[in-house]
Chains A and B, each alone.
Chain A
Amino acid sequence: MQFSILINGERRSVEADPDTPLLWVLRDDLHLSGTKYGCGIAQCGACTVHLDGVPARACVTPISAVGSTPVVTIEGIGTHEWGRKVKAAWLELDVMQCGYCQAGQVMSATALLAKNPRPTDADIDQAMHGNICRCCTYTRIRAAIKHAAGLPTADTREERS
């Protein structure tokens, strides 16, 4: 079947079975391989993209469900004001180790800040719960989100617990 989808502001046409996950259309048909495959069952968040600004797991989103909803991937998030800030914070704090999950982390963090520019630790926990980092860079992910938001980056959870 032919699908016409709006990705990173660009209209793209793809031929795919309706049940093909958006992830594989992005990676293998459109060569937007910044979005990663980790589990295929929406457990790890490596495939996180934005559908109309809302984080979604591309591995369980059939191409037929995308319709006219604008899709933004890691390749396009830098043009988004929060996306730019989040990426800058990620580099400044040197968040990544292997980096495989980090596109998904950045997509979830950007969606969080766009909705909630001054997140608490609890807000961060909730928004980032679905993004596994196997290298466990969680300390810096938390700090980088706060840094992007202009908040102090020190981890003060212990004092409050």
Chain B
Amino acid sequence: MNDREDHEGVSGIAGLSRREFLTVALTAGGGLLLTLNVPSAAGAGAPSRPAGTLNPYIRIDPDGTITLVAKNPEIGQGMKTTLPMLIADELDADWNDVRVVQAQLDPIYGPQFAGGSLGTPLNWIPMQRVGAAGRQMLLTAAAHTWNVPLDECAAEHGTVRHRPSGRTLGYGALASRAATLPAPDLNTVRLKTPAEYTIIGRFTGGVDSPRVLAGEPLFGIDMRLPDLSYAVYAKSPVFGARLVRANIEELKAQPGVRDAFVLRASQPDAAVRMGLVDGVAIIADRWWDAQKALRKLRAEWEPRAASNQSTHAFALEADRLAQKTPQTVLRRDGDVETALAQAHKTVSAAYTYPFLAHATLEPQNCTARLGHDGSLEIWAPTQNPAPGAKLVAETLRIDPGKIRVHMTRVGGGFGRRLNNDYMVEAAAIAQHARRPVKLLWNREQDIQHDSYRPGGFHHFTAGLDAEGRLTAFRDHFITFGQNGRVASSADLPRDHFPAGFVPALQYGQSLIELAVPTGPMRNPGGNALAFAFESFLDEVAHAGGRDPLALRLALYGPARVLPAPPPRYGLRIPPFDTGRVRGVLEEVARRSGWANRDRLPSGTGMGLAFYYSHFGYVAEVVQASVSADGVPHVHKVWAAVDIGSQIINPAGAYNQAQGAILDGLGQALHLLVTLDEGRVLQKNLDTYRLLRIEEAPPLEVHFVSSDNPPTGLGEPALPPVLPALCNALFAATGKRIRSLPIDPQHLRSAAA
């Protein structure tokens, strides 16, 4: 199999590379390649990219085949389908004529990443404009061809029709002429009204799905190249340890092994920065040979243990810090101590949640090939290719202009692949071995070398007035950091609810020193904070004798739009709208029969939670009971979701919401990473227990439409399910869950 075939076949990344783009544009009478000035994918309100920037997203062949480029990585969030849908609708294409190719990393496409549920808000308008500009060029080409006024021409399903005469021309016939026309100004192209959509809003299957089910090699792990070798890379189980010695010569003598060597950390804190760390590379003709040789590795690491880096030690340290004044005050509104002293009633509780691993089902891997000219080509299942290329360039001292990154399909992201440690490892191994290498981590390495969702501890106190209203709120958040700086994804945002909605409030913070890498995991912050805050809010409601729904409605208050925060990610941040909170809370209450929950059988309870994240408003209700041995049984989950005025692809949207809910349930029920003297104890999926099908309850997801631009859905539906479940278990048993994962021992005595 030659290289070219590999390139086409493996990752579907036959994308319009710069070279291909030039080739196509120069082919007279060939295809149309629209060259457009797209504002940086940042969307409205963001600084524009320089005029004249080319944006080749659309190619139309003479036979009418339309090739659309998907700019972002596909990790299962559906953007490879969603973004081309936006282009195709405005292009008035027939979706059956559309073929989608994955872009490689290229600055002409602007930011290319999968994270923060930002694919939709960043690209909703720019991708429509790309399509609308294409339609305008095709209409103009038709008007020129027929020598008729432009406004007598209409586009529909890949065809332009001259209305007065009824003449038609297909896009394939118009493409070469359209390609010679000047590109319209993207900021002034007319976009459709929702009533005119033909593809947006339609149930559309994933563009790669038939190929996945045919077993085609689409994922990073499937990459093939001529003369490819396979590599494993062994690192210290204790994070940040230095390799003292290893039996390299013995490894080299193992069957099938081509080479074995030591690589060194790029910097002292590379472990927590997810860079290249000390390790032993083993290269073999087959991955299995490398994996077998790995079992023969005898390595000495220093230090051999980090005694203060244990789950148990962290809990003791958190207890000690909780007795003290917070090291930092993140936010202070009013006088919380006085308000608590004057409260009719106070409620205090401590909540904690563990470190978690991402456990993407496709283990981390990457393929790299060094060229004769010192260039480096990389095929990576990454969510975030640009920082990966930068990391490789800096670590290996390679000119960034000589690095090409191909984005393969990604077997699950969940935030793990926002970091690119596997990329720099593969590149370093290929550079040292001077041959093309596919690095694949085994599952044990994947679980033991993650960028973990950090654990945390919250010490809450709330003050209530005689009517059960929340008058004071205090949290001493004990989290993790390095040298006084909060670790990645271990922070408490100072505007986190209920801040701004309670007259007296204080968020204090203390840090435990951490030598273990952390990083974003699907809904970073929210996946943990929602559990703590929304469970405690349920305690507040019960302490004050109020319905948890009514308490929330009263706290958020009447429908109003709060002042907009400053722009972030180059994106205008939509203002917080309490009316949208009310909308989803009332919808989920209605759908779940919340008002009638007292009619549920004894031992069955309903719990409610709301969480705002990634611009999405989500309320969820869980109905659950507990078996005699204390195991939670989730009967059903209802969700009401407001992500704006338009669901772009209902097929993807329901799937994302359902998956996020179940992902959260799995975290609440099972997931736990235990640290012991600087290493992770869990090794594989037998002890790191992902949710299985029989544990997935019936789900009802309802979208509440509001007059707001569409926002993302990969993450917002996850957080509320954790507290909704815990609150349901309280309603069912009278037992509070203040520590995750849920311990059946804790619930056993409450079970009937």
For window 635-676 of chain B, which residues contact chain A by CB distance below 8 Å? 635-636, 651-652, 655-656, 658-663, 666
Chain A hits for B286, CB < 8 A: 24, 28-29
Residues in A whose Cβ lies below 8 Å from that of B696: 136, 138-139, 142
Instruction: Identify the stretch in B49-57, B545-553, B567-575, B683-691 within 8 Å (CB) of chain A at 4 or more residues.
Output: B683-691
The yes or no answer to B36 lying at the interface (CB within 8 A) is no
A43 touches B693 (CB 8 A): no
A24-B287, A134-B359, A136-B696 given; A98·B76 CB < 8 A: yes
**A137-B221 contact given A98-B410, A158-B698, CB 8 Å threshold:** no
In contact, B685 and A39 (Cβ under 8 angstroms): yes
Interface residues of A in 117-135 (CB under 8 A from B): 124-126, 128-129, 131-135
User: For chain A, what secondary structure do more than half of its interface residues adopt (helix, strand, loop), or is it mixed?
Assistant: loop
A2 within 8 A of B: no
Q: Taking A28-B230, A36-B221, A91-B205 as contacts, is the C-beta distance between A74 and B213 under 8 angstroms?
A: yes
A37 within 8 A of B: yes
Report whether B219 and A100 are in contact in the complex, using a CB–CB cutoff of 8 Å: yes
Q: A32-B215, A40-B442, A106-B213 are in contact. Are A96 and B206 (CB under 8 A)?
A: yes
- B677-713, CB < 8 A from A: 684-686, 690-694, 696-699
**Contact of A139 with B209 in the complex, beta carbons under 8 Å:** no
Per-residue A-contact encoding for B244-272, CB less than 8 Å = 1, 0 else: 00000000000100000000000000000
Instruction: Indicate if the CB atoms of A43 and B655 lie closer than 8 Å.
Output: no
Task: Compute the total of residue contacts between A and B using a CB distance below 8 Å.
Answer: 182
* Nearest neighbor of B633 in chain A, beta-carbon distance: A161
A44 touches B213 (CB 8 A): no
Chain B residues contacting A103 (CB-CB under 8 Å) are: 212-213, 215
The reply to whether A38 and B685 form a contact with Cβ atoms under 8 Å apart is yes
Q: Kindly list chain A residues whose C-beta atoms are within 8 Å of the C-beta of B219.
A: 36, 100
A37 to B16, CA, bound (A): 31
A103–B211 Cα distance when bound, in Å, is 11
When distances are taken between beta carbons in the complex, the residues of chain B under 8 Å from A21 are 288
Tell me if A134 and B212 are in contact (CB < 8 A).
no
Contact, CB under 8 Å: B693 / A124 = yes
A43 touches B362 (CB 8 A): no
Please tell me the number of chain A residues within 8 Å of chain B, measured between CB atoms: 60
How far is B661's CA from A106's CA once the two chains are assembled, in angstroms? 23
Shortest Cβ distance from A39 into chain B, in angstroms? 5
Q: A43 to B659, Cβ gap below 8 A? A: no
Q: Cβ of B752 < 8 Å from any Cβ of A?
A: no
Size of the chain B interface, CB-CB below 8 angstroms? 66
* Cβ of A70 under 8 Å from chain B: no
- Assembly CA distance A73 to B222 (angstroms): 15
Give the Cβ gap from A143 to chain B, nearest Cβ, in Å.
10
Residue of B nearest to A127 (CB): B693
A46 CB-CB contact with B under 8 Å: yes
Write the A6-29 contact mask toward B (1 if CB under 8 angstroms, else 0).
000000000001001100100111
Are B409 and A99 in touch, CB under 8 angstroms?
Answer: yes
**Could you tell me if A36 and B213 are in contact, using CB atoms closer than 8 angstroms?**
no
- Asked whether any CB of chain B lies closer than 8 Å to the CB of A82, the reply is no
Q: How far is the CA of A38 from the CA of B215 in the complex (A)?
A: 15
Interface residue B224 (Cβ < 8 Å from any Cβ of A)? yes
Q: Is B20 an interface residue (CB 8 A)?
A: no
Q: Do A125 and B693 touch across chains, with their CB atoms under 8 A apart?
A: yes
Give, as a whole number of angstroms, the nearest-CB distance from A60 to chain B: 12
**Cβ–Cβ contact B690 & A75, under 8 A:** no
A10–B694 Cα gap in the complex (Å)? 36
- Are A40 and B443 in contact (CB-based, < 8 A)? yes
> B75 an interface residue at 8 Å Cβ cutoff?
yes
**Are B230 and A34 in contact (CB-based, < 8 A)?**
no
CB–CB B663/A136 < 8 A: yes
* Complex-state Cα separation, A75 to B213, whole angstroms: 8
Q: Is B454 positioned at the interface, with any CB of A under 8 Å from its CB? A: no
Residue of B nearest to A157 (CB): B698
Best-surrounded residue of B216, B222, B655 (most CB of chain A within 10 A): B655
Which of A134, A137, A158 has the most B CB atoms < 10 Å from its CB?
A134
**B208 touches A (CB below 8 Å):** yes
Q: Select which of B208, B215, B636, B661 is within 8 A of A75 by beta carbon.
A: B215
A39 and B359 alpha carbons, distance in the complex (Å): 10
Across the interface, do A31 and B224 meet the contact criterion of CB distance under 8 Å? yes
Chain A residues within 8 Å of B203, by CB: 94
Tell me whether B684 and A134 are in contact (CB under 8 A): no
User: Any chain B CB within 8 A of the CB of A65?
Assistant: no
Among B213, B224, B635, B694, the residue within 8 A (CB) of A102 is B213
Q: Are A101 and B215 in contact (CB under 8 A)?
A: no
| CB within 8 Å for A137 and B692 given contacts A33-B215, A97-B78, A98-B362 | no
Interface contact B212-A102, CB-CB below 8 Å: yes
Those of B186-237 within 8 Å (CB) of chain A: 203-206, 208-210, 212-219, 221-222, 224, 230
B361 near A: Cβ within 8 Å?
A: yes
A-B contact pairs, 19 of them (CB 8 A): A21-B288, A24-B287, A28-B288, A32-B215, A36-B221, A37-B363, A40-B442, A74-B213, A74-B215, A78-B213, A99-B212, A99-B409, A129-B692, A129-B693, A136-B658, A136-B660, A139-B699, A140-B655, A142-B696
* Cβ-closest 9 pairs across A and B: A34-B215, A98-B76, A100-B411, A136-B662, A97-B76, A138-B696, A125-B694, A99-B212, A75-B215
B-contacting residues of A (Cβ < 8 Å)?
17, 20-21, 24, 27-29, 31-41, 43-44, 46, 73-75, 78, 87, 90-92, 94, 96-103, 106, 124-126, 128-129, 131-142, 155, 157-158, 161
